[in-house]
Structure 1
């Protein structure tokens, strides 16, 4: 079995060529590496898809209405995106071990607050901590994945895509089972499962940090921009009123301008100018936003369709979505063997098929099965994205900025997913869940167009 060499380690040949001087991390095989990193990243998807199942119980237990309970998901989407960027940058500056330790502490503290929270406000605070830690484990996992080099890299990428597809497909089922058998509080704390994978990833986290200071003003500006955008698209759902909407819009414009200005004035700041200038990074980020947006929004609408319209229980919904993991595993392995250009074709085809299935679901033709197929294809596109986009972008990042680059990439992914869920939730309030899937279809459709349009660039 081929060995995987994390970024920053010394090649065995440089140590004498016999292999006796290799570190333990140099002897980890591609399958084991993929499972470890997949276990670190995978539970991050539980914060949205699993938690959505528990929202009715949260509202009843804490005596809150639908608009108030929406903050449970909004706060998580916000902190998840910011956590990936901030702790990804910390991984560059102080090393991945330090960032992983900070993420574990945030996860543990947030989970504890969620389990004992006496009110909705305290619960939202706990979810902020939990999501920041979850974003940190996702960023560290992505940065460690980016450090995998050599012949084993395609196998690691394919295994990683399979692992995260399994987590994504099982999220609704697990959320329903935990809510029914244990408590909604445990369901909201499920992202803390990443803690279990953290010790096994320490042997991969050997790269030292650059010790460069973190650009705090840049981080603050980006945080404000993401926060105001996520809340702005939910003004109607959260019943915040016109004055608040205008204030949020102004805050977003100012913060986004500050991010752009900071990137221009400080090329090595929180948002590195070289990263933004890289065409593959820009196209990969936007393509991933389409895929994640389709997945998050589909995981919000389709369980509601299957339970509310067709009378399925949560267990049946979860079981029906499991084939999406199998499809994702097969397609991601295939995409990993085809190279960047061929992989983008697989991603484009899967995303286009998902968009078509979502559009059919909106017509309410064919009973529940178009919805099941649509969700499964969204899960498959998600798995392929982990192989194609993550692999393509990470290959272009220098070792010293992999944490920041992968953190910002995941920030775009998760923020896009949160915005898509918020937009579709607003549409569903007026159109109903079935017709709102027509809006969901726009996200994977955009990803398909972008994947094809940038195929040749990715191949180069």
Structure 2
């Protein structure tokens, strides 16, 4: 298999000649129609639902707390619940896409998003609102791994490698929707009330659902296996490994609560997290179709290093994203609106660099630049103070935005190339799980370093952590032989 550093995405691992479809051999699609608008429109629309919902809720939390008479500590559950559900749901939905077919999983996920939107819009109490966010996390988690599994299946069907710019569009949809989420949420909450933040998912999911039913190619028949390659988006649904998923969810939940309480560490949580993790490893090594294929990961060091890069990158990015914005308001004296404007270069840089990274030949160069910009942006933060000029603030945000776009497309292309041919959906889900773990860890560090209020010293400590993580990340990227052009494992 060609390494991700090769031009475009990885060439499919199996011979593409006349793969069988549900009704017989598929004929290669016309060159202009493969990976075209009909295939990509529902995939892109579905892929933006998770990131936009992760940020759109931010500007509605105050109004929700006021209506249900709960404080900030309680409304934070609306964020954490979706992160946890997504972190577990991404690899679970990816595995299901590999086994049952990506189109089926995509359609089921869009249907769940519709249900979650209705539950949230009509919720009579706060507990049901949390349920809505959990269902929303699971439903939106289906789109991204299903999309990558669908692209791999389309690549086999047409005999063409998936173009890097196609993968880049998925990253751009996620980055762009996450960037506009707070603005969209604020607009909806101000004009139609906070329930509109939940209700807007219904028409968006219905559009994705209609596009999927009309344009996505049907999955292969369950149980049919492609010669020499394993499954091509189909397989026994009974092999989903529910016990493995439950153990993974339990260990991740304990870890999340520990990380969110770093200011006053709940040390007793480490015991159940360790026990559940050990049992998970034991069970995954025994199960014939494990939820997380630990043996494959042990053999696939390149993929494990990609997950590590993803987690470290977004740990720094989320530390700056949340920590810098709080510092702008509480230490620098900006209003929420003006703080959002100062953060705008970060979003613009991320959106602009995503297609650039997608068009770059290979992934080693953009990932190296991303790590270098993380170190440089953190160094600029180290120099900031409450009296710093606006230009310095804008430059700091832009420097952190660059690696968001480059690392997102680069690591996505690496996962697509390094994952097993019959497991790209589950592999893509684990990539997002690494990202969410970075976000949860960042939230805990910000609470630990800032305490009750953001300060210059707290921002500088965040900057030092960013530098301390970005430099090893740069070394890891440069030393990774799997990212070198022409490398073959």
Do they fold alike, i.e. is TM over 0.5? yes
1:356 counterpart residue number = 379
Alignment check: 8 A CA contact 2:93 2:429 kept: yes
Distance of 1:221 and 1:48 partners within structure 2: 24
Compute the displacement of 1:94 (Å): 0.7
- Does the CA-based 8 Å contact 1:114-1:188 persist in structure 2? yes
Q: 1:162 to 1:268 in 2, by over 3 A?
A: same
Pick aligned residue for 1:295 from 302, 306, 317: 317
Pick which of 180-189 and 220-229 moved more: 180-189
Measured in 1, the distance between the counterparts of 2:459 and 2:195 equals 29
Residue pair 1:169, 1:379 contacting (<8 A) in 2 also = no
Q: 1:91 aligns with which of 97, 101, 105?
A: 97
Deviations 1:79-128 (A, max 9, x none): 11111121111111111122112211221222222222232222111111
Task: Give 1:353 shift.
Answer: 2.9
Q: 1:61 aligns with which of 39, 57, 67?
A: 67
Q: TM-score, normalised by structure 2?
A: 0.80
The number of residues matched between the two structures is: 448
Q: C-alpha deviations, 1:264-321, integer Å up to 9, x for none?
A: 3336400102442211211111211122223334333333333444554544444444
Extract unaligned runs of 5+ from structure 1.
Answer: none
Greater Cα shift, 188-197 or 376-385: 188-197
Instruction: Give the deviation of 1:260 after TM superposition.
Output: 2.0
Mapped partners of 1:205, 1:14: distance in 2 = 14
Alpha-carbon spacing, 1:63–1:170, altered in 2? closer, same or farther (3 Å):
same
- Trace 1:280-429 onto structure 2 (pairs within 5 A): 280-310=302-332, 312-336=334-358, 337-361=360-384, 363-367=385-389, 369-429=391-451
Cα 1:246/1:155, change in 2 over 3 Å: closer
Does residue 255 of the first structure (1) align with residue 276 of the second (2)? yes
Q: 1:275 to 1:423 in 2, by over 3 A?
A: farther
Structure 2: distance between partners of 1:398 and 1:11 = 16
- Aligned-pair CA distance for 1:222: 0.6
Q: Which shows bigger deviation, 313-322 or 169-178? A: 313-322
Taking structure 1 as the reference length, what is the TM-score of the superposition? 0.84
Matched residue of 1:432: which SS?
A: coil
1:222 to 235, 244, 248: 248
Structure 2 regions of 5+ residues with no counterpart? 1-7, 21-25, 221-233
Larger radius of gyration: 2
Give 1:36 shift: 4.8
Q: 2:436 and 2:42 mapped to 1: Cα distance? A: 21
Match of 1:106 among 106, 109, 112: 112
1:8 to 1:199, Cα distance in 2 relative to 1, 3 A: farther
Distance 1:9 1:221 in 2: 34
1:289/1:413 contact within 8 Å kept: yes
| Root-mean-square deviation over aligned CA pairs | 3.5
SS at match of 2:388: coil
Contact 1:173 1:315 in 2 (8 A): no
1:421-455 Cα offsets, whole Å, 9 max, x none, are 23313432246265444454435752553244233
Structure 1 window deviating more from structure 2 (179-188 vs 249-258): it is 179-188
**Distance verdict in 2 for CA 1:96–1:165, change over 3 Å:** same
- Say which is worse superposed, 351-360 or 283-292, in terms of deviation: 351-360
Distance 1:421 1:327, change over 3 A: same
Separation in 2 of the partners of 1:448 and 1:185? 43
Aligned partner of 1:185 in structure 2 is 195
- Is contact 2:248-2:276 (8 Å) kept? yes
CA distance in 2, matches of 1:267, 1:433: 52
CA contact (8 A) 1:347 1:381 kept: yes
Q: 1:171-222 CA distances to partner (integer Å, 9 max, x unpaired)?
A: 2322322232232233356666455334435645545312251111111111
* CA gap 1:339/1:410 in 2 versus in 1, 3 angstroms: same
Distance 1:324 1:44 in 2: 20
Q: 1:326 to 1:440 in 2, by over 3 A?
A: same
Work out which of the residue numbers 211, 215, 220 in structure 2 matches 1:200. 211
Q: Structure 2: how far apart are the matches of 1:88 and 1:21?
A: 27
